[in-house]
Chain A
C-alpha cells in the first residue's frame, strides 16, 4: 500500500497514542509493528517540518523557542513548502494488515486519521 506523507505524519503520532492504551497483547504488538514501519518516514517528514520552522520562524525573546508568525508572509512560505512535503507520496510500499480495535476506547479525533488505512474499528 502507498501512503501520502500527510497520512504518515498524522497516523504515526495518533497511533502512538493508541498504543499507550490498555490493549490486548496481540493488538498492542500489531500496532507496534505498524509504528516500526512508519517511524522512519515520520522522522524524515518531521525533520523537514523542523527545518522549515528554522528557515521561516523567528526566535522568541526567551531565546529558546522558534516559531512562525501567524498571518505573516513567512507563514505563507512555510505553509506552502510544508504542504508540498505532505502532499507527496512516500516512495516505498507499506505492507501491514489493518488492526482491529474497539471504538469505545479511542477518542474520535485520534481515530479519524487512522480509520481508513491503519485501524479497523469495531463498534461495541
Chain B
C-alpha cells in the first residue's frame, strides 16, 4: 500500500527538484511580475524564469492512481482524465493545462499546507451558489465534446 512517505514525490531528489527548480522560481517570478517596483528587464527575466519552471513540471513523473496515496489525489487524477476525454483545445494549451493539473495533483498529494488551502477553497466554493458552466454564454464550443 502506498503511504504518504512512500510515494516517488516524497523521495529526496524529487523534493529538492520540486522545491528549488519549480516552486521557488515560480514564487519568486510571480513576486517580481506583480511588483510595481520591478523594472521591465526584471519582469522579462521573471517571465522567462516562470516559463522555465512551468516547463520543468513535465520532468516530474505524471501522477497516477498507483503513484499517489491520498484518496482525494485519486479523485483529482480521475478529474484530469475526465477533462482530457472532453476538452480538445490546441495542443500547446492542452499541454499547459495537463502540466498545471499534474502540478496541482502532486502538490495536493505530498504537501499538507497546500492540501489544506485547496480543501478550504473547495469547501467554501461548495457553500456558495455556483452558476453552471455556460452561464450567460450562448456559444457552442467545438473543442468541448460531451
Contact = CB atoms under 8 A, between A and B. Distances in A.
Interface of A: 4, 6, 10, 70-71, 73, 75-80, 82-84, 86-87
Contacts of B60: 76, 80
Contact of B8 (A70, A75, A77, A84): A84
Pick the 10 closest A-B CB pairs, nearest first: A76-B59, A79-B17, A79-B13, A83-B11, A86-B11, A83-B14, A82-B13, A87-B8, A71-B21, A83-B8
A83 B106 CA distance: 14
Interface of B: 6-9, 11-14, 16-17, 20-21, 25, 52, 56, 58-61
Contact of A87 (B6, B20, B21, B56): B6
B56 A80 contact: no
A71 B8 contact: no
A79 B14 contact: yes
Given A77-B59, A83-B8, A84-B8, 14 more contacts: A4-B6, A10-B12, A71-B20, A73-B56, A73-B59, A75-B17, A76-B60, A78-B13, A79-B16, A79-B17, A80-B17, A80-B60, A83-B9, A87-B11
